[in-house]
Structure 1
Amino acid sequence: MGLHSGIDIKSTKNLLIGGAIILVILFTIILKKWAVYLDSKAKARSLAKAQGDHDQKSIGLCSLSTTKSIRTYALEEIKMATRDFRIRIGVGATSYVYLAELGDGQFGAVKRVMEERGGYQKMFLDEVSILLRISHPNLVALLGFCLDKGEQLLLLEYIPNKSLFDRLHTNKGKLSGTLSWSSRLSIALDIAYALDYLHSVADPPVIHRDVKSSNVLLINDDHAKLADFGLCKLGHESYSAQTPTIIRGSLGYVDTNYLNTGLVSPKSDVYSFGVLLLELITGMKSLQGSVTLAEWTNECRKHQDVDVMMGMLDPKLNGQVNVEQLRVVVYVVNLALLENSMARPNMAEIASRLSSCMDHSPETDLPV
């Protein structure tokens, strides 16, 4: 009896010790999860504060800036809205984009930044921080974000009519019909306004660094929004003290001065916008084999003879173009693509020129 009693006491003692160890482990796990939760909340508060510090100068530009509600989402909410990332509607350099149903017939676009595609968390947080600070009718708006269980997700405004690239260069896009000359000018002006806002109104200024037709989303044939702020960089008016950075952007659109020096500025966006204008004029992609569109059109766009200039016009337009408007747009292109970046106009000047040439044009396009 005494032996058995001793064994029972020893077993009970071992059970108590084992139970205590398990409780300590469970308590440690709970503390770690709580620490992660508090850390994610702290990041969310920090990002939300950036929104609260948004420069008041932008408020008058868009009623959205006073009414939009940006919130953090749990991963399960995003999964439910995207049906577990079922419908992919876009692909970026570091991300995939999925359709999200928000209820009441509303939709959103979820940008899923992937670490395996080079989308590291600092880049994601920088993008969120910038999106929280900006608001303009011609910029795709941020609706919310998620940093949960290793996921990096942005919930963005959904623009259903695809990109300018799709419309100009894909078979499906071409089935929607040819974009008229006046529509092309209107789209260009919208993007010019968006870039002018980023360069001149946003505080601090923002350099987009990836202006291209696939980042121009069409609201309809006449209006567009600039998207994808993953490569954005905060900029300033003085660049003399800048140190070279890793070259970012897309081939054919990247500023030649930026390529040669590694120094980026708002004038780098001006160069990319010049290529975008060329794309609208010619209907051609930014790269023609190994030659850039800027190089491909160099002789035609610098020629004074209007017939030579007309030779680079998109044949799908069938010559339905206002000649004086074409002259102005080509002139703007040539200024935007100057090798000396400091000699290029700023986006405010470009927007003014485009707006003026549209205001003083006939109501309909004229055949040449």
Structure 2
Amino acid sequence: MKCFSIFKDKSKSKKRESSSAPELRNQSKSDNSALTRTSRSLPSPRSIPELYKEKEHNLRVFSFQELRDATNGFNRMLKIGEGGFGSVYKGTIKPLDGQGEPIVVAIKKLNTHSLQGHKEWLAEVQFLGVVNHPNLVKLIGYCSVDGERGIQRLLVYEFMPNRSLEHHLFSTTSTLPWKTRLEIMLGAAEGLAYLHEGLEVKVIYRDFKSSNVLLDENFKPKLSDFGLAREGPTGDRTHVSTAVVGTFGYAAPEYVETGHLTIQSDIWTFGVVLYEVLTGRRTVERNRPTLEQKLLDWVKQFPPDSKRFSMIIDPRLRNNYSPSAARKVGKLADSCLNKNAKERPTMSQVVESLKQAIQDSGEGSSSVSKSPLTSSSRSSGRRSKKV
């Protein structure tokens, strides 16, 4: 089996490696053809593939054998997640210079039979190869192998020991404290604000959900899984037209109905997760009474300005939360869920609102120290149903 880079071979010593880079480069341009500049004569932001070319040297290219060894042959005992894309394993790799202690990483091994998986893999390499923010997961490197056993596509990320926001909201008996919840959402909002406003090109994340908000050893959040990310509209375009993909219960209604993707689509999904954080309920729970199965339909009965609003707050918090801050978060969620996409707040405005809610919840908004939370049950890490 032979490993090769996406665009060029960074390892001069591997003379026998496949030189399929031009094919992958052309494919990446094709995949993003609807997103690149509409006219070469007009000034336009550079595309993600163009920006990636400047930074691809920062990513480490692994051999397949290196990653096999890192996971003890992709041992099932080291599997920490699984979904339609494939499996994620905890592993250890040697430092680039070969010196020092092994580095703990998360290794995503894509399903070898998934054509969509390859496109998502390529998108993750390109987007995560360009972005740089403390609230976005770091991509360390990748491996792309064509061999007798088929095509292998792998990604190597920094390891996030406290799993995901989803895990702590729904899959443990421990309770995620109120202020910790808000600080996690603030960090996630700052990551989204960077994607929307902090780059040369706008990036639509398109897959914001609690399972994609990973937590480090200090419960600092980082957005992961950029396989569905797209460049935002440029020039005089108002949207990007795409096939409707994402996770059931999270996608913005105008996107589901028309396939028109905008920055505001991310704002809607953020509002959904805000209500998950407030209520401790998943966006869809089929085991509940009919009127309570869909989270957004249920919370409409309890407006933030009403006396009944406290009835939707996660009972596991046992009143250990700020009622005034909770109402502010509820109002913020409602504004994110405005049916008129143009009237939703920007992520920068969301960030400021969450900072105020944290301030209302106690003294300051210092980062969370190592949490005493324990994980009493294992999260499956499976993807939710696709729309």
TM-score when normalising by structure 2: 0.74
| Aligned match for 2:19, one of 34, 38, 45 | 38
**Alignment correspondent of 2:359:** 359
| Aligned match for 1:206, one of 195, 203, 208 | 203
Q: Who wins on radius of gyration, i.e. which is larger?
A: 1
Alignment partners' CA distance in 2, 1:225 and 1:239: 32
**Alignment correspondent of 1:181:** 178
| Aligned match for 2:254, one of 254, 257, 269 | 257
**Alignment correspondent of 2:225:** 228
- Contact 2:162/2:219, CA 8 A, preserved across alignment: no
1:346 and 2:346 correspond: yes
TM-score when normalising by structure 1: 0.78
Amino acid of the structure 1 residue aligned with 2:189 = A
| Aligned match for 1:128, one of 125, 128, 148 | 125
1:139 and 2:136 correspond: yes
**Alignment correspondent of 2:326:** 326
Over 3 Å counting, the alpha-carbon distance change for 1:205 and 1:220 in structure 2 is: same
Alignment partners' CA distance in 2, 1:129 and 1:343: 31
Moved more, 182-191 or 222-231: 222-231
Task: Spell out the pairing of 1:18-37 with structure 2 (5 A cutoff).
Answer: 37=18
Return the offset for 1:141: 0.5
Cα deviations across residues 295-327 of structure 1 (Å, max 9, x unaligned)?
A: 121121x2522x311010000001111122112
Q: List alignment gaps of at least 5 residues for structure 2.
A: 1-13, 29-47, 95-100, 366-387
Return the offset for 1:204: 1.5
Alignment partners' CA distance in 2, 1:180 and 1:227: 22
Alignment partners' CA distance in 1, 2:126 and 2:308: 47
Moved more, 183-192 or 250-259: 250-259
**Alignment correspondent of 2:163:** 162
Alignment partners' CA distance in 2, 1:211 and 1:169: 17
Cα deviations across residues 93-122 of structure 1 (Å, max 9, x unaligned)?
A: 312111111241421111112242443433
Moved more, 238-247 or 337-346: 238-247
Cα deviations across residues 17-66 of structure 1 (Å, max 9, x unaligned)?
A: xxxxxxxxxxxxxxxx978622249969x999844636xxxxxxxxxx9x
**Alignment correspondent of 1:314:** 314
Alignment partners' CA distance in 2, 1:317 and 1:120: 39
Amino acid of the structure 1 residue aligned with 2:259 = G
Return the offset for 1:124: 2.0
Alignment partners' CA distance in 2, 1:222 and 1:157: 14
Alignment partners' CA distance in 1, 2:238 and 2:334: 28
Alignment partners' CA distance in 2, 1:111 and 1:236: 30
**Alignment correspondent of 1:271:** 268
| Greater helix proportion | 1
Moved more, 220-229 or 311-320: 220-229
Please give the secondary structure, in 1, of the residue aligned with 2:18: helix
Which structure has more relative contact order (CA 8 Å, sep 6+)? It is 2
Amino acid of the structure 1 residue aligned with 2:184 = I
Over 3 Å counting, the alpha-carbon distance change for 1:72 and 1:242 in structure 2 is: same
Q: List alignment gaps of at least 5 residues for structure 1.
A: 1-32, 55-64
Amino acid of the structure 2 residue aligned with 1:294 = L
Over 3 Å counting, the alpha-carbon distance change for 1:341 and 1:209 in structure 2 is: same
Cα deviations across residues 253-298 of structure 1 (Å, max 9, x unaligned)?
A: 1111111111111111111111111011000011132743111211
1:94 and 2:94 correspond: no
RMSD of Structure 2 on Structure 1 (CA): 2.8
